[in-house]
């Protein structure tokens, strides 16, 4: 049997991310706003913004989303990527907003274990010092 050698090492790199035409979403988070898009032609709306409609392909326009919604579904994560590992276990929710066609994924915080239910009313909160990341917004019970 061949001997397989392994070693551990730290790997770190700084890189620049461009949000391009999705920049209004991240700018919105710095102003405590949730920005989505709506198709100008068929009116389908996207809580996770899309620049072109998935239904008809026409361009979408930016809209401000409601900041309160309901839990569509949820899960508890006991493992995560390096960025979220120290937060485990944490709860991910898919948020339903009134009048919006699609769902929005976020974290649900400030909730007692065993009290999350589908249809639960929740509201957005924003980090005091935004980092231009999707995690600048999270949800709490309303």
> In the complex, what is the shortest distance from the CB of residue 52 to Zn ion, in angstroms, rounded to a whole number?
8
Give min distance, CB of 55 to Zn ion, in A. 4
Q: How far apart are the first and last CA of the chain?
A: 60
* Closest to Zn ion by CB, 38 or 91: 38
Which lies closer to Zn ion via its Cβ, residue 35 or residue 39? 39
Taking the least distance from each CB to Zn ion, the nearer of 52 and 75 is 52
Positions touching Zn ion (CB under 5 A) are 39, 41-42, 44, 53, 55-56, 58
Alpha helices by DSSP H, 4-139: 23-30, 82-85
Cα 110 from Cα 83, distance rounded (Å): 19
- Least separation in angstroms between residue 102's CB and Zn ion is 12
Tell whether the torsion through CA atoms of 113, 114, 118 and 121 is positive or negative: negative
């Amino acid at each position: 049997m061949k001997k397989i050698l392994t070693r551990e090492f730290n790997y770190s790199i700084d890189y620049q991310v461009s949000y391009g035409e999705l920049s209004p979403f991240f700018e919105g988070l710095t102003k405590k706003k949730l920005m989505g898009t709506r198709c100008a032609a068929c009116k389908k709306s996207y809580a996770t913004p899309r620049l072109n409609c998935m239904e008809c392909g026409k361009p979408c326009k930016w809209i401000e989303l409601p900041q309160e919604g309901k839990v569509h579904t949820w899960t508890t994560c006991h493992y995560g990527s390096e960025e979220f590992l120290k937060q485990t276990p944490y709860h991910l929710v898919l948020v339903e907003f009134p009048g919006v066609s699609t769902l929005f994924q976020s974290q649900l915080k400030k909730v007692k274990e065993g009290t999350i239910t589908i249809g639960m009313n929740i509201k957005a909160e924003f980090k005091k010092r935004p980092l231009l990341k999707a995690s600048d917004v999270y949800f709490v019970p309303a």
